[in-house]
Amino acid sequence: MIDPKYRTDDHYDDDLSMPPSSPSSINSTINSTIELVNKNLAKRYAAEKRFQVYGILSIAFGLFCLLLLFTDIISKGIGAFTIHYVQLEVTFDESVLDINDSSDAMQLALADYQGVVREALKKRFPTVTHRPERRRLYSLVSNGATYHLQDLVQEDLSLLGQTRTLWVLLDDDVDTYLKSREDRSGPFIGRLKSEQIEWIESLYKEGEIESRFNRWFFTSGDSREPEMAGIRGAFIGSLLTLLVTLALSFPVGVAAAVYLEEYAPRNRWTDLIEVNINNLAAVPSIIFGLLGVAIFINFFSMPRSLPLVGGLVLTLMTLPTIIISSRAAIKAVPPSIREAALGIGASKMQMILHHVLPLAMPGMLTGAIIGMAQALGETAPLLMIGMVAFVVDIPTGITDPATVLPVQIFLWADSPERAFTERTSAAIMVLLAFLIIMNTLAVWLRKRLERRW
Amino acid sequence: MLKALCIAVVLFVGTSTSVSVWAARDYIEIVGSSTVYPFATVVAERFGRATPFKTPKVEATGSGGGIKLFCQGVGVGHPDIANSSRRIKAREWEDCRRNGVSDIVEVLIGYDGIIIGQAVDADPISLTQLDVYRALAKRVPNPNGNHSFVDNPYRTWAEVNPALPDQPIEVLGPPPTSGTRDAFVELVLEAGCDQVPWIAAMKSVDEDQHKALCHAVREDGHFVEAGENDNLIVQKLNANPKALGIFGFSFLDQNSDLIKGAMVEGHIPSFDTIANGDYPISRPLYFYVKKAHVGVIPGIKEYLMEFTSNKAWGDEGYLTDKGMIPLPPQRRTWVGTSVRSLEPMAL
C-alpha cells in the first residue's frame, strides 16, 4: 500500500485514481495523516519499549536462575573450604606405638598411632573411664589424625619418646556439628551423643578447637571419611583425560576439516560424510560410551577406568564439534588470500599451512576449547568404561585408574554421610571455576589471535 | 590411501596387543553392588593406607553388572572381586564356569536393613508387610474376599487397613534396576503376599505366576520411582511429610535429624533390631573372590584379612559405623576361617 503522506506530496495530480481536490482538502489530508501518525505514535513507542522489555526480562530471568544456582551452590559449599582441628598433647610413647627398632620401616608403618591419639584423648578427659563412653570419646577424632602422626614420625624419628602439642583433624560428625552451631534451626547433632557434645563444647570454650583452611580438600584423593576426602585425584584425572582428548581430537579434527574444505571434491560421498559428521555431533554421549566399551575394552581388552580410555571415548565425542567449527573457520578465510598465495607461486600445501591455517586458527582453537569444556562436564560415556570408581591414589599417568570431576560430584552426591553434601557443592564450584577458566581462555585467544582482512 | 589405511590398522592392532603387556595390574579391581560399595570402599581405603599395597579400585556397577564383568574370564583384564547385595544366581554361576572362572570364594559380610522412612516430624506409622503389599502391589486380592485379583483400588492407607491414618498412599522408592528395589520387592511384597494363604498356596502350583503377581509394583502414581539416589528420597520426604520412602539403613543412620523409620511388624528399625532379626526387612551382603587371581594380583589375601578382621566387620568395627549390620559372632568365625583357607564355594 502506498503511504498516504507520500501520495499527497507530489504525485497527487498525476494520480488518476485520486479525485481532483482543492489545496484546502490537501492540507486537511496532510493534517489527518499527521493526526493518524501521532495517534499511532504512542502505541508504536510502547510496542518498541515492550519489545526491549521482553529482551531485558529474558536476560534478567537467566541471570536470576544463574544467581539462584550460584548462591545455592556457594552457600552450601563454602563450608567445605574450612575444617575444624583439635589441639592434643600427643606423647610419642614407643611402648604404646609398639616400636622397638626405629630403623625398621615396616614397624614404623604398622605402629599403633591410633593408640597414641587415644592416650592423648584420655589424658585430656581423665574422668572418662567407662568403656562405651571411651569409644565415643575416641570417635571424636578423625582417622586422618593417625595418618598425620605416621607422616610426622616417618619424617622425623627424633619425635619418638617426645611430647608435642599438635592440631589434629576432627571427625566429620563433629565438624558438621560445629559448622551448624549457629544455625537458626539448631545444630546438626546427627549421630553425636549428649556427652560427646559436652566434650566438644568444653574443648571449644577452652580454645582447643580451631577452624582452619581445609587443605585436604585440595591435596588428597577420594576418601570414605568426608573430612579427608579431596578432589585432587579427580582434578588430575580430568586433566589427564582432557590431555588425551586434546592430543587426539585436535590434530585429527583439523586435518579432516582441511581435507574436506580444501581438497575434497563436491560429490555424493562428501555430502554423505558431511551429513554424518553433523549427525554425530548430535548423538547422545552415552552412545559413544557404549562404542568405547565395545571397541577399546572388549575388542582391544584395555583395562577399565583409565584416563587413556576415557580420553579416547571423549575424542570420539568431541571430534564432530571440532571438525564442524574448524570447517567454519577455514571457510571464513577469504578466497582472495588463497588466490594471492597461489598467484605468487605457492603450492596448495604451502597456501594452506602458511596462510589459511594461521588465519583460521582462532576459530579452530575456540571450537576446540568449547569441545574440551563439553568433554570436561561429561559423565555418561565414562560411566560405561568404568571411570565411576572409588580411586584413592592420585593418578600419575594416563594408565593409572582415575575418575574425573563430574563423576566425583556424582559419587559424593550419592554418599550417605552428611558432610559430603557440602563437599559436593564445593566440587561443583571447582568444576565451574575450571569451566569458566577454559571459556575465558577461548574468548581471550580469539581476541588475541583474531585478524581482520 | 588404502595402503596408509592398512598401515594404520596394523599399527593400531599392534599397539593394542601390547596393551596386554601393560595389563600387569598391581592393584585389586573390585566391581559390583552399590549397596556394598560404601563398605568395600572403607575397607579398601584403610587397606591401602595401612599396607604397602596400592589402594584397590572399587567400581559401583550394580550387583548384576558386577557379577557379569566378574564372570567374563580369568586374567588381569577382569575384575578380581565382585560385590553383591544378593547371592550369586545359578545362571550366573554357570556363566562363570563356562568362562573358566571355576573357583570362587564366597564371603558373607553382613546385613543391610531396608527402611520405610518418613519425615522426622510426620506422625509415626506402623505397617505390616501385608499392608505394604496391599498398598503397593499392582494387582491385589479382591477386597470382597473372592480368590481373584483386581487392579489395586486403594488410594489411602486407611482403605488398606482402617487402623492406618487416612492419608494418600505415596511411596518414593528406587527404580527396578536397583538392588534395593529387588530386595524390597522380595522381602516386603512377596512376604506380604504370602500372608494371604490362598496366594501362598499358588506358589507350589504355578511359581512363575505367583512371582509375577507378588513382584509387580503398581504404576498408577502411588509408587513413585525416585531414582537411584537415596539422598534425593531423603530430601523429598522432608518436603512432603505425608510421603514414605524406601532406602538403605545407612541413610537413616546418617540423617536421623531428617528422617525416621516406620515400624514394620511392630519393630522400629534400629541397629539392634536389624541385627537380632526382629526387624524383618534385611538382606545379606556378599562379595565373591576369583581364586585364580590370588597370588597373581598382589594383596588379595591381605585385603580379605582386612575385611574379615574384627576391627572391620566386628560388632564394634568400622563397618558398623558406616551402617552395616554385622553377622552374629559364631557365623563370623565360621565365615572367617573358610575365607582364610580360601575354600571355594559350591552352589
The shortest C-alpha distance from B133 to chain A (Å) reads: 27
Q: List, for residues B184-230, the tens digit of each pLDDT value.
A: 898 899 889 888 888 888 888 888 888 888 889 998 889 988 877 77
* CA–CA separation, B260 and B237 (whole Å): 10
Give start and end residues of each alpha helix (H) in A206-306: 216-219, 232-258, 268-281, 285-292
* Residues of chain B neighbouring A303 (CB-CB closer than 8 A): 22-23, 25, 29, 76-77
Asked if residue B313 belongs to a domain, the reply is yes
* CA–CA separation, A361 and A364 (whole Å): 5
B107 and B135 co-located in one domain: no
SS3 (DSSP) at A209? strand
Asked if residue B5 belongs to a domain, the reply is no
Task: Give the ipTM.
Answer: 0.77
Distance of CA B296 to the CA centre of its chain: 29
Q: List, for residues B52-98, the tens digit of each pLDDT value.
A: 899 999 998 888 889 999 999 898 889 999 999 888 989 999 999 99
- % chain B with pLDDT above 90: 36
CB nearest B27 (choices: A224, A300, A401): A401
Asked if residue B301 belongs to a domain, the reply is yes
Q: Do A305 and B37 touch (CB under 8 A)?
A: no
Listed residue (A356, A305, A361) closest to A333, CA to CA: A356
B323 touches A at CB < 8 Å = yes
Contact A426, A81 (CB under 8 A): yes
B214 and B131 co-located in one domain: yes
Q: List, for residues B104-123, the tens digit of each pLDDT value.
A: 999 999 998 899 999 988 88
Of all residues in chain A, the one with the smallest CA distance to B259 is A190
The shortest C-alpha distance from A257 to chain B (Å) reads: 17
Q: Is the pLDDT of residue B14 over 70?
A: no
> How many Cβ contacts (< 8 angstroms) between chains A and B?
97
| Main-chain dihedrals φ then ψ at residue B260, nearest 5 degrees | -135, 160
Asked if residue B217 belongs to a domain, the reply is yes
pLDDT of amino acid A453 = 60
DSSP B184: H
The shortest C-alpha distance from A55 to chain B (Å) reads: 35
B125 and B261 co-located in one domain: yes
The shortest C-alpha distance from A195 to chain B (Å) reads: 18
Count of structural domains, chain B: 2
B277 and B289 co-located in one domain: no
Dihedral angle, C-alpha A134, A151, A210, A132, nearest 10 °:
-10
Asked if residue B19 belongs to a domain, the reply is no
B174 and B43 co-located in one domain: no
B49 and B130 co-located in one domain: no
Q: Which of B246, B263, B282 is the last residue of a domain?
A: B282
CATH code assigned at B36 = 3.40.190.10
pLDDT of amino acid B300 = 93
Q: List, for residues B332-347, the tens digit of each pLDDT value.
A: 999 999 988 888 888 7
Q: Tens digit of pLDDT per residue, chain A (453 long)? A: 444 544 444 444 444 455 555 666 777 788 888 888 888 888 899 999 999 999 999 999 999 999 999 999 999 999 899 999 999 999 888 888 877 777 777 777 777 888 889 889 988 998 888 887 888 898 899 988 888 888 888 888 888 888 989 999 999 989 989 988 877 777 777 778 888 898 999 999 988 999 999 998 999 999 989 999 999 999 999 999 999 999 999 999 999 999 999 999 989 999 999 999 999 988 999 999 999 999 998 888 888 899 999 999 999 999 999 999 999 999 999 999 999 999 999 999 999 999 999 999 988 988 999 899 999 999 889 988 988 899 999 999 898 999 999 999 999 988 888 889 899 999 999 999 999 998 898 888 888 887 766
pLDDT of amino acid A352 = 95
Name residues whose C-beta falls within 8 Å of residue A172's C-beta, 6 or more positions apart in sequence: A142, A225, A226, A227, A417, A418, A419
CB nearest B58 (choices: A143, A301, A389): A389
Q: Do A224 and B45 touch (CB under 8 A)?
A: yes
B176 and B264 co-located in one domain: yes
* CA–CA separation, A204 and A198 (whole Å): 10
Domain residues for the domain of B309 are: 25-111+284-340
B183 and B60 co-located in one domain: no
Dihedral of CA A293/A299/A301/A302: which sign? negative
B161 and B268 co-located in one domain: yes
**pTM (global) more than 0.90:** no
Q: Which of B245, B263, B282 is the last residue of a domain?
A: B282
